[in-house]
Structure 1
Amino acid sequence: MLNFIYYPVSAILWVWHKVFGFILGPDNGIAWALSVVFLVFTLRAVLYKPFVKQVRTTRQMQELQPQIKALQKKYSGDRQRQAVEMQKLQKEHGFNPIMGCLPVLAQAPVFIGLFHVLRSFNRTGTGMGQLGMSAEDNLNTPNYVFSATDVQSFLDARLFGAPISAAITTPVAQLQAYVTENVPELPSRLNIILVAAPLMIIASIATHFNSRASVARQSEAAAANPQSAIMNKLALYVFPLGVLVGGPFLPIAILLYWVSNNIWTYGQQHLVFRKIDAEEEAKKQEAITRRNDNAPKPGARPDPSKKKGSPAALKTADSADDDGDAPEVSLKKPQPKPSGSGGGSTSKPKQNRPQSNRGNSPKRNKRR
């Protein structure tokens, strides 16, 4: 049913096994382990750009929180109108919530596909999803793009004495499938524990530190959100504990997947966060430089030509349009011309004094 996932995953694993098998030998356990690790690296390299988009989307979501809260408060009684306004706000700022989930959603099918392909190397079990084959039939049955020869190579491979598709809780009946002509000994449960237990601990610690780095990048408003606080607690403590609890039921190769995925995530987070922080700091410095360039120097008067609508600005614009041919227009008030012929003396302008209303004085009327 999910062959569209199983075949691509097995094909990538097959390619990397051919590369490392050519160097170390096809039956080498380290070659198979490196094939799993580089399967993870291949996937994460493809998802690098979506991861950067996810980080930018998260930053943008934090910046839009005040506006989102305002819309939620304004349309608290109208859910439909609130959803419409939210979509408008997201469209206006180019915000796409789906892009923030893409890296996580894309890794889930790969995890499922790898788990199924690894289990399909040993189909002797009778549990859920198992075919109950005999050891001989299993050895001669291809596994998706892997031939029967590749299946035998996988069953012969040992990583420090443990088959990489075996788990701590694998029944003894299934461990019999790893007994072949090349490796006639039954895998030791102790060897499986000695390989799987350190991987479980490393995966748990790496999960905690990755979650810790993500939580540290949250804004104060986002961290104060009750739902975010619950998710942070789950990511910091419950998920790492889940690796320790579920680890004994997972094949060694899946634990390798988990460890390598967390190592890649830790390095990628710091690289991307540093890059985005540098970009934001450069934008801030550019804005400060632009503001300082436009600001007048201490003690200097502002340049009137930079003000819109000022006479100097209008005069500059007019002279630029006429290429300097238009006559200059003086904005000063005209001075009064001198009167009279002699001596070059100037007469003072007459001042209009208010005439006294002597004829209508009440005292004068009384005397009369």
Structure 2
Amino acid sequence: MLDIIYYPVSAILWFWHKAFGAVLGPDNGIAWALAVVFLVFTLRLVLLKPAISQIRTARQMQELGPQIKALQKKYAGDRQQQAVEMQKLQKEHGFNPLMGCLPVLVQAPVFLGLFHVLRSFNRTGTGIGQLGMSAEANAATPNYVFSATDVQSFLSARLFGAPISAAITTPESTLDSFAAHGGVPSVTMIAAVAIPLMVIAAVATHFNARASIARQSQEAAANPQSAMMNKLMLWVFPLGVLVGGPFLMIAILLYWVSNNLWTYAQQHLVFARIGREETTAQRTLTERPVAAAPKPGARPNRQKRSRKK
């Protein structure tokens, strides 16, 4: 069942590796790193339309906030009627709350799929989900759309001296499997690449949250639940990246950084576009009555009603 996710994710990663590998070399670490980054960009581009709908939904929720609260208060003792009235309100304004969840619901399995595909390049570990294969057997076993040669290329890839499939906490027994593919890396070498990525990911997560909160209405920000969620987004989530970072392979940290960079750019561009649309719509509504009214000093043009015979 999960192969429905694993094969498409590995296919997109394979395509970008072939594209960058043709220029930089198939075993080049930067080619593999760029393949991961452009995998993220490809998936986010596919999800761009739902993401825009999500932002529009969030803005609609803010605008409909007072009406929703009024309905909740009016039908506090009748949950069934409250649900009926909420559906009427949503239908009247063309509001679909599911669109606000769709991008997140889609990204979650994609992230898990990417994590599994990247982890499956090295199956010598003995932890949860690992196969405990020997280094030789692992190097000779394909990984979804990747051939055995591609697996060996991934194991040989180094980003500033560190394998992108290794994490700071990778066990020594797993690191030993890199011996035939560029040598056994040291934890210090892996940390030198992973820690800056962890810091960048944490900072990007914080600023994405700050940009999102800055666009909230005053009523939404004053809500106790929203205030608590805002604090989690601003401080706890970025801290979680720093705490969990040592357990994530460098390729996953690259995913996290590039995903946050895309989100930051997307928020600014999409909100700017929506802002222009709302300004244009507001100007049109403002100018309509002015255009219909007579000029100062001019008589109104009254059409004579035809008399009934």
Normalised by the size of structure 1, how large is the TM-score?
0.81
1:13-92 superposed matches below 5 A: 13-92=13-92
Partner in structure 2 of residue 207 of structure 1: 205
How many angstroms apart in 2 are the aligned matches of 1:236 and 1:201?
14
Moved over 6 A (4+): none
Tell me whether 1:149 sits opposite 2:146 in the alignment: no
Partner in structure 1 of residue 196 of structure 2: 198
Deviations 1:220-255 (A, max 9, x none): 111111111111111111100100000000000000
How many angstroms apart in 1 are the aligned matches of 2:200 and 2:33?
16
Partner in structure 1 of residue 281 of structure 2: 283
Q: What amino acid is the match of 2:100? A: G
Change over 3 Å in CA distance of 1:198–1:232 after alignment to 2: same
Partner in structure 1 of residue 242 of structure 2: 244
1:249-268 superposed matches below 5 A: 249-268=247-266
How many angstroms apart in 2 are the aligned matches of 1:60 and 1:302?
42
Deviations 1:250-276 (A, max 9, x none): 000000000000000111110000000
Tell me whether 1:131 sits opposite 2:128 in the alignment: no
Q: What amino acid is the match of 1:318? A: S
How many angstroms apart in 2 are the aligned matches of 1:248 and 1:4?
29
Q: What amino acid is the match of 2:262? A: W
How many angstroms apart in 1 are the aligned matches of 2:224 and 2:293?
44
Partner in structure 2 of residue 103 of structure 1: 103
Q: What amino acid is the match of 1:115? A: F
How many angstroms apart in 2 are the aligned matches of 1:302 and 1:28?
79
Partner in structure 2 of residue 231 of structure 1: 229
Q: What amino acid is the match of 1:281? A: T
Deviations 1:327-367 (A, max 9, x none): xxxxxxxxxxxxxxxxxxxxxxxxxxxxxxxxxxxxxxxxx
Query: What secondary structure, in the 3-state scheme, does the structure 1 residue paired with 2:164 have?
Result: coil
Partner in structure 2 of residue 318 of structure 1: 306
Structure 1 residue 285: Cα displacement: 1.2
Partner in structure 2 of residue 121 of structure 1: 121
2:267 to 266, 269, 276: 269
Structure 1 residue 318: Cα displacement: 2.8
Deviations 1:46-105 (A, max 9, x none): 011111111111111111111111111110011111111111111121111111111111
Equivalent pairs, count: 309
How many angstroms apart in 2 are the aligned matches of 1:302 and 1:15?
71
How many angstroms apart in 2 are the aligned matches of 1:318 and 1:2?
73
Q: What amino acid is the match of 1:80? A: Q
Question: Which protein has greater RCO, CA pairs closer than 8 Å, 6+ apart?
Answer: 2
Q: What amino acid is the match of 1:232? A: N
How many angstroms apart in 2 are the aligned matches of 1:302 and 1:166?
81
Structure 1 residue 38: Cα displacement: 0.3
How many angstroms apart in 1 are the aligned matches of 2:146 and 2:129?
19
How many angstroms apart in 1 are the aligned matches of 2:26 and 2:298?
80
Structure 1 residue 297: Cα displacement: 4.2
Query: What secondary structure, in the 3-state scheme, does the structure 2 residue paired with 1:223 have?
Result: helix
Normalised by the size of structure 2, how large is the TM-score?
0.97
How many angstroms apart in 1 are the aligned matches of 2:69 and 2:133?
59
Q: What amino acid is the match of 2:160? A: F
How many angstroms apart in 2 are the aligned matches of 1:88 and 1:179?
65
Structure 1 residue 296: Cα displacement: 4.3
Structure 1 residue 34: Cα displacement: 0.3
Partner in structure 2 of residue 179 of structure 1: 179
How many angstroms apart in 1 are the aligned matches of 2:223 and 2:48?
29
Partner in structure 2 of residue 354 of structure 1: none
Partner in structure 2 of residue 343 of structure 1: none
Structure 1: gaps (5+ residues): 306-312, 327-368
Percent of matched pairs sharing the same residue: 72
How many angstroms apart in 1 are the aligned matches of 2:299 and 2:172?
88
How many angstroms apart in 1 are the aligned matches of 2:55 and 2:114?
27
Q: Which has the higher helix share?
A: 2
